[in-house]
Amino acid sequence: MVTEPVLQPALNVDAVSYAYGKVRALDQVSFAVPPARFAVLLGLNGAGKSTLFSLITHLYAAQGGSITIHGAEVAKAPGRALAQLGVVFQSRALDVDLTLRQNLIYHAALHGIGGKEAETRACSLLIRVGLEAQIDARVATLSGGQVRRVEIARSLLHRPRLLLLDEPTVGLDVKARADILAHVRVLVAEEGVSVLWATHLFDEISADDHIIALHRGRVVADGAPNAIAARFGATTLQEAFVRATREMAEATP
Amino acid sequence: MSTGAYWICLKGIVWREALRFVHQRERFISALVRPLLWLFVFAAGFRQVLGVSIIPPYETYIPYEVYIAPGLMAMIQLFNGMQSSLTMVYDRETGGMRTLLVSPFPRGFLLSAKLMAGTFVSILQVYAFLVVAWFWEVEAPWYGYLAILPAMLLTGMMLGALGMLISSLVKRLENFAGVMNFVIFPMFFASSALYPLWKMREASPLLYQICALNPFTHATELIRFAFYGKLDLLALGVVAGCTLLFLAAAILAYDPARGLIARRAGG
């Protein structure tokens, strides 16, 4: 068993800023994802969600502040930080011409997992997402929802403790969306994986999620949906979000 | 990460590139047809116009086809390097490049492994070309076919690293046509691939200087000499030096803190 302080967050983002030239994408963003929780990064398009994901995944480095994954700082110990991180990107990452098995073995190799071990993990993860029968099918033959499920299986190959998903339900129908969401919630409940789920869809949020609302590169609300609603004198989270973003618009002319 | 893990990762990256190549049959065919067109059509027409005298490594008069074969081998690697870099720009727009870079291995290692994978594929293409060329009486001693292997590993890495560097500069896929015009054509034509450099000197001393400085000239010469079991030390030095330089620049360009992609990426 790994011993660590109970309160150490899965992900800690501390005063992170980022600008593309003069355009500020993130401004002093701070929040934490508690361990074994389903956290939602809520924001409209252009809120800075993708930039934040690029920084957490070390695609590029934050210009200010720090990002820590289970105690490993991304900028200083990228190897240790990234080893604990699984990511489902918004854009597809699988080779459509290759089979599920080939794809998963390749991605296992990217984490230094090879041979029998890679095969075993690929099979058990595909069973978990209900696609074991398609293991030797080409990705191109799968539906959009199935591809997403394989992406989730892919992101779990190295048994990460934190899973990042960037709008994973984009372009899926209602059933597939509910399906993916249910799969990820099971991971949190049964495996104790921490999740940061980026979305702009309020119906993907449940009452006991941890919400981080991002608007124009700033955190406008952070906490449980009810608490956020109450703070802004609203009855629903959506109403609170609208008020919060309006307040911000009035504060910054 | 243990040494074994690095090995697994490298193997995985090369294996995936090879699988992708096998599945893209059009890519294989066009990679084969391009140099064969040069060999069958261009060289056939040109041999009447251009006489190639005896210059090292050749020991007799040679037909023009034989002269341009090493240049075409290098051309296969040049196209392959640029194609891989095109794939990288595409991969960056989709998720492929991001999943590679989110691996916990050092980024320099990941990018080098990716280059090795591309080089491996280009070498397969060259050998396929040589099989067809052999029937066209472009032949070398048997050890030449072995000696080109290490030479092409190096030239493939150099051209791949150059492509990778370019991929970090190209913001969008659509801009890629420019790479054809400003990189592939000048590199290929201003080199010793199609004509010996002394011929070039007769035409224009300035052009000769440009050709002599072109790394692609040295890639071609390294392969040409190796094909006959010989070593061109100058070419080896230039190619090795350029490989290190381009690779270092490409790794820097993909560096999270200073990298060009950081400043260019939007959204």
DSSP assignment, residue B184? I
Rounded to whole angstroms, the Cα distance separating A183 from A129 reads 7
Give CA torsion, residues A99, A103, A108, A112, to 10 deg: 110
DSSP assignment, residue A10? S
Asked if residues A237 and A211 have their Cβ atoms less than 8 Å apart, the reply is yes
- State mean pLDDT over A212-221: 91
pLDDT of the residue at B262: 52
**pLDDT grade for B263, boundaries at 50, 70 and 90:** low
- Which chain A residues touch B15 with a CB distance below 8 Å? 106, 109
- B51 Cβ under 8 Å from any chain A Cβ: no
Rounded to whole angstroms, the Cα distance separating A195 from A185 reads 9
pLDDT tens track for A233-250: 888 888 888 888 888 777
Give the residue from B10, B16, B24 with the most A CB atoms within 10 Å of its CB, the best one to mutate.
B16
Is the model's pLDDT at A253 over the cut of 70?
no
Distance from CA of B129 to the nearest CA of A (A): 25
Query: In terms of residue numbers, what domain contains B122?
Result: 3-264
Greater confidence, A67 or B58? A67
Residue of A nearest to B113 (CA): A110
- Which chain A residues touch B6 with a CB distance below 8 Å? 112
Greater confidence, B193 or A60? B193
pLDDT of the residue at B266: 42
Asked if residues A155 and A92 have their Cβ atoms less than 8 Å apart, the reply is no
Question: A170-179, B117-126, B142-151: which range is least confident on average?
Answer: A170-179
Q: What percentage of chain B has pLDDT greater than the value 70?
A: 90
Residues comprising chain B, all counted: 267
Rounded to whole angstroms, the Cα distance separating A62 from B231 reads 48
Beta bridge partners of A194: A162
Q: What are the residue boundaries of the structural domains of chain A, listed by start?
A: 1-84+161-253, 94-159
Rounded to whole angstroms, the Cα distance separating B196 from B254 reads 37
pLDDT tens track for B245-260: 999 998 888 877 666 5
Rounded to whole angstroms, the Cα distance separating A65 from B11 reads 37
The top-level CATH class assigned to A94-159 is mainly alpha
pLDDT of the residue at A139: 94
Greater confidence, B236 or B170? B236
**pLDDT grade for B228, boundaries at 50, 70 and 90:** very high
**pLDDT grade for B220, boundaries at 50, 70 and 90:** very high
- B104 Cβ under 8 Å from any chain A Cβ: yes
The half-sphere exposure of A138 on its side-chain side, counting CA atoms within 13 A, is 9
CB contact under 8 A, B94 and A109: no
CB contact under 8 A, A89 and B98: yes
* A83: its two tokens: 């080893």
Is the model's pLDDT at B237 over the cut of 50?
yes
Is the model's pLDDT at A229 over the cut of 70?
yes
Is the model's pLDDT at A2 over the cut of 60?
no
pLDDT of the residue at B55: 76
Q: Of the candidates A57, A157, A53, which has an alpha carbon nearest to the alpha carbon of residue A100?
A: A157
Q: Of the candidates B95, B97, B76, B83, which has an alpha carbon nearest to the alpha carbon of residue B24?
A: B83
Q: Mean pLDDT, chain A, as a whole number?
A: 89
Question: A125-134, B94-103, B129-138: which range is least confident on average?
Answer: B94-103
Residues 6+ apart with CB under 8 A from B221: B70, B192, B232, B234, B235
Task: For chain B, state the CA radius of gyration.
Answer: 19
Beta bridge partners of A29: A16
Please count the structural domains in chain B.
1
pLDDT of the residue at A176: 85
pLDDT of the residue at B37: 87
Q: Mean pLDDT, chain B, as a whole number?
A: 85
Question: A108-117, A201-210, B160-169: which range is least confident on average?
Answer: B160-169
Q: A1-84+161-253 has which CATH code? A: 3.40.50.300
Interface of A with B (CB under 8 A): 20-21, 50-51, 54, 57-61, 75, 78-83, 85, 87, 89-93, 95, 97-98, 102, 105-115, 154
Number of H helices, E strands in chain B: 14, 0
pLDDT tens track for B32-74: 888 888 888 888 777 766 666 677 788 777 888 888 899 999 9
- State mean pLDDT over A70-96: 90
pLDDT of the residue at B171: 67
Greater confidence, B259 or A130? A130
Residues 6+ apart with CB under 8 A from B193: B68, B70, B71, B72, B74, B75, B216, B217, B220
Rounded to whole angstroms, the Cα distance separating A173 from B162 reads 43
- Find the distance separating the first CA and the last CA of chain A, reported in whole Å: 52
Q: Of the candidates B65, B68, B72, B100, which has an alpha carbon nearest to the alpha carbon of residue B84?
A: B100
Distance from CA of A155 to the nearest CA of B (A): 9
pLDDT of the residue at B51: 63
